[in-house]
Structure 1
């Protein structure tokens, strides 16, 4: 015998079911065909997505624009996300799936984009490749070709950092790429490294566009670029991008000095002189230490400060705004 509730109009049932949690929806759809039809309405899962993607810290990320999801794909996105959370809380749980990917020769840095579909990899040539992990044959897609004039005669060290945009419905993120070209020359039958005098930082915006064939392609737009010059730059320790700020730490020597120093630099890349998009302003903070510092994160608070988590390899000398600790958190007002 059917329930009087099942006789209600479909749109009214869907409106009521829109207030249920995901697990309740799975239960009620087993009761009748009318309930099954109601739980398959896009509005219900779209409402749940809006709610879950508002949680902080945000862990629910799509791998393309929400408008490109079918109702079933949107449902699977939420159920997969909830399933991961349930498995994560259980100790000793084996991964439900495992992918093995052979990267191109010379891959120096790789980042998995939130959402789990896209992998970005920086090559020793300076090129940036993307891999679609949902593809049965994940091949490298050249998205950002190297544009350094000295690239052909260099081994380029690469650092990457990802910053997801906060829009719930448009899949987009910013990508910071740091390139440190190390020129080489032949000598005594083997390659000899020559110290670099510049590193290059570029900020891109990456979006996903759907093709007529039904596949997705990544599109990039260069937002800003910066050249950091020094007499000798031996290494870049880390790179971190968040909102309007990019931070990086390098080990270098100024021309007037005889010893190497490690410096941490934090830049607001959105402030462009004379509205020129392809140049960055001067450094907000340059922190000099006697030991290498790795930049872990940059966090803006109320648009008035940045916070950088630093870990030094040895006990650093006192910094202008930190205590003398082995692992320390640095806070500075902008």
Structure 2
């Protein structure tokens, strides 16, 4: 599982399958994530989830979607989202990230059929279930993309891009393509949430208080906690610690820095507290985690 890296606009840096081709296709298992929960993030890519077995909840801008076996989900660009297990049930799934610049270079088609969906603030996601008309077609298209990645025949990306154009045509025909409008308050709270998360991304290594996080959203501490609970199902400090731990994982794997130094650089002032949180979230100590990712002879 790759560590979360952040761009200047605080969106996620996606490590694509091939440099220069903004496409990412992976099979994953929810139990591989700490506490069976991914860290909340957003990016400029369209995201597609295909559930093979089990189930998971997917949070998109504070809305929880239950994904059962064979369900498919499309998450629009720039939406805050993450997957998690509400009852510790595991889930095998595929994740596809597709950057919009892979779509047709024809300006008229792009402006008429692609931009209106990408820029639709009310279209946060589309949930496809087996009882819907047209679902078999959607499932077949996504499974073909996954199969192409598994085979990785030279040039498979070209066929993936073609299939995604066909999938986009199905999106245009979806009955929820013009969903109910979100209220101005919902959009305002979402913007506030992004500002507070961005503040944590930028200042996680510093001493941060609840007051500091609330100030980043220009709101009181109580509303700060309410918004975090609504969108992330975590308190502000819980999310801060989750991100600090995530960053520390990368340092444990990629540097030879002492665990004490890593803890301090990630904003933890006490090694014992860092080690306790790490064990609670990852099921092992920082030292054990480092050993797992250190090849013999390194």
More strand by share: 1
Q: What is the TM-score with the length of structure 1 in the denominator?
A: 0.22
Bigger relative CO (Cα 8 Å, ≥ 6 apart): 2
Q: What is the TM-score with the length of structure 2 in the denominator?
A: 0.24
More helix by share: 2
